[in-house]
Structure 1
Amino acid sequence: MRDQKGEVQYFIGVQLDGSEHVEPLTSNIAEQTAKESEVLVRSLSFVHLLLNP
């Protein structure tokens, strides 16, 4: 690659290969909250189907 003056520019970069261990995200919602939300969504979906045949 060349700069504005036409000089050749070299870039040294780091490429991650993804083979190293990655810690899981800690910002996930609690498992119990996820299950409660799932039940709520399924219940509301069922009610919607009953009210809108």
Structure 2
Amino acid sequence: GLELEFSRVQFTPDLMPADITGSEVLEELPGTGRRELRFVPGPVFCNLLLADEINR
């Protein structure tokens, strides 16, 4: 097997770009209370992406 990472996106009229590419989340670190931005990748960061109903 190739061990590829697979993801699927269901296209809907209310889908936003951040739903596909990901976004940054503000997190507070436990213990220190320090806050930092952490990038949470969206489904586009994979080897094989299925885009379902892309013509909507």
TM range (shorter): under 0.3
Tell which has more relative contact order, 1 or 2 (C-alpha 8 A, sep 6+).
Answer: 2
Please give the TM-score of this superposition, normalised by the length of structure 2.
0.20
User: TM-score, normalised to structure 1's length?
Assistant: 0.21
- Structure with more of its chain in strand, by fraction: 2
Greater per-residue helix proportion:
1
